[in-house]
Structure 1
Amino acid sequence: MRVRHKPWAADYITQHTDIVLQQPEQYKGSWHTVFGNRHPLNIEIGTGKGQFITGMGKLFPEENFIGIEREKSVIVSAVQKLVDHPLDNVKLLNVNAQNLMDYFADAEIDRIYLNFSDPWPKKRHEKRRLTYRDFLETYKRVLKPGGRICLKTDNQAFFEYSLESFSKFGMILENISLDLHQAKIEHNVQTEYEEKFAAKGHRIYRCEAFFKNGN
Structure 2
Amino acid sequence: MRLRNKPGAQERLDSYPQYIIANPAEYKGKWQEVFENDHPIHIEVGTGKGQFLVGMAKQNPHINYIGIELYKSVIVSALDKLIEEDLPNLRLLNVDASELGDYFAKGDVSQVYLNFSDPWPKVRHAKRRLTYKTFLKLYEDLLINQGEIHFKTDNQGLFEYSLTSFSEYGMLLKYVSLDLHNSDFEGNVMTEYEERFSRKGQRIYRCEAKYQ
Given the two structures, how large is their TM-score scaled by the length of structure 1?
Answer: 0.97
For the residue of structure 1 that corresponds to 2:146, the secondary structure is strand
Structure 1 residue 130 corresponds to structure 2 residue 130:
yes
Cα offset for 1:17? 1.1
Q: Deviations over 1:11-35 (max 9, x none)?
A: 1111111111111000000001100
Q: Aligned pair count?
A: 212
Partner of 2:172: 172
Paired-residue identity, % = 56
Cα offset for 1:156? 0.2
For the residue of structure 2 that corresponds to 1:146, the secondary structure is strand
Q: Match for 1:163: what amino acid?
A: L
1:85-164 matches, within 5 Å, as 85-164=85-164
In 2, the alpha carbon distance for the partners of 1:84 and 1:184 equals 32
In 2, the alpha carbon distance for the partners of 1:86 and 1:11 equals 19
Partner of 2:27: 27
Q: Match for 1:39: what amino acid?
A: H
Structure 1 residue 201 corresponds to structure 2 residue 201:
yes
Q: Match for 1:195: what amino acid?
A: E
Q: Considering only aligned residues, what root-mean-square deviation do their CA atoms show, in Å?
A: 0.7
Structure 2: runs of 5 or more not aligned: none
Q: Match for 1:2: what amino acid?
A: R
For the residue of structure 2 that corresponds to 1:166, the secondary structure is helix
Structure 1: runs of 5 or more not aligned: none
In 2, the alpha carbon distance for the partners of 1:124 and 1:46 equals 21
Question: Could you list the runs of 4 or more consecutive aligned residues of structure 1 that deviate by over 3 angstroms after TM superposition?
Answer: none
In 1, the alpha carbon distance for the partners of 2:139 and 2:21 equals 21
In 2, the alpha carbon distance for the partners of 1:124 and 1:156 equals 18
Q: Match for 2:25: what amino acid?
A: E
In 1, the alpha carbon distance for the partners of 2:211 and 2:58 equals 28
In 1, the alpha carbon distance for the partners of 2:158 and 2:90 equals 28
Structure 1 residue 66 corresponds to structure 2 residue 62:
no
Q: Deviations over 1:154-183 (max 9, x none)?
A: 000000000000000000001100000000
For the residue of structure 1 that corresponds to 2:141, the secondary structure is helix
In 2, the alpha carbon distance for the partners of 1:200 and 1:184 equals 21
Q: Match for 1:87: what amino acid?
A: L
